[in-house]
Amino acid sequence: MVWKILKIPKGKSSADEKLVRAMKNIAGFTPSNLALYKLATVHSSLGKENGTGLKESNERLEYLGDAILGAAVADYLFKKFPFKSEGFLTEIRSRIVNRESLNQLARKIGIANIVQYDQKNAHLQQVILGNTLEAIVGAVYLDKGYLRTKKFVVDKLINPNYDLEELVNSNPNYKSRIIEWAQREGKEVRFEIVNIKKAKNHKEFTAQVVVANEAKGTGFGNSKKKAEQDAALKTCEMLNLLTPQ
């Protein structure tokens, strides 16, 4: 697919104006190729085939953005912690770019206001915001190059939104936290996959935490593990387990 530079005319649509404003707020610059960012916000549930058999959605940009985001975060952490091991760097990078973290970050910076998806699917927005953020990173890379993208990742995503000291010292395994709490309280806990929705190129899992036969948090993800972690996080919030004791 050949990307063409989209020059925004003075009479640009309100949707284009909204997207330009959003990107200024999110990334701190005006897009040069607005078409990239428009595509980055279109989930596959609304994608239309372009005549070549390829559905025009943000999936390809998400694939690219996932790799670029991971590289930018790895670069940043490598320089930030010059005496830490590979295992430490890998763990901290995972805590920044895992699906739950990216979903929360994307919601915080306003991705929910620009993502386009089939709103008949009530829970879809809960699982696609992080994917959309990755697609936007991919769009920034194609539009501005790697160095500008790395600056965006560090200055607009990591530094304002993550406390690295807290991240290093935190325990992000919410499933383990639920299990440890249940053992202390003498309660039975189990994690159930209650639904698997098959899409063209991926699956969406729905997980449920059940404590003493009572349904608690429900989570979503593109793997069983991610869905269970999301459900565990929501259960921790319900049970007030995230407040320092």
Nearby residues of 67 by Cβ (< 8 Å), 6 or more positions away: none
pTM of the complete model:
0.67
Catalytic residues: 66, 134
**CATH 3.30.160.20 location in the chain:** 174-238
Bridge partners of 214? 211
Please give the CATH topology (third level) of the domain spanning 14-169. Answer: Ribonuclease iii, N-terminal Endonuclease Domain; Chain A (1.10.1520)
SS3 of residue 128 by DSSP = helix
**CATH 1.10.1520.10 location in the chain:** 14-169
pLDDT tier for residue 226 given thresholds of 50, 70 and 90: confident
Nearby residues of 152 by Cβ (< 8 Å), 6 or more positions away: 27, 28, 137, 140, 144
Instruction: Choose which CATH entry (3.40.50.2300, 3.40.50.360, 3.40.50.300, 3.30.160.20) describes domain 174-238.
Output: 3.30.160.20
Highest mean pLDDT out of 53-62, 66-75, 95-104, 160-169: 66-75
pLDDT tier for residue 56 given thresholds of 50, 70 and 90: confident
Average pLDDT, whole number, for the chain? Answer: 85
Which residue reads 């010059």 in tokens?
82
Average pLDDT over residues 198-209: 83
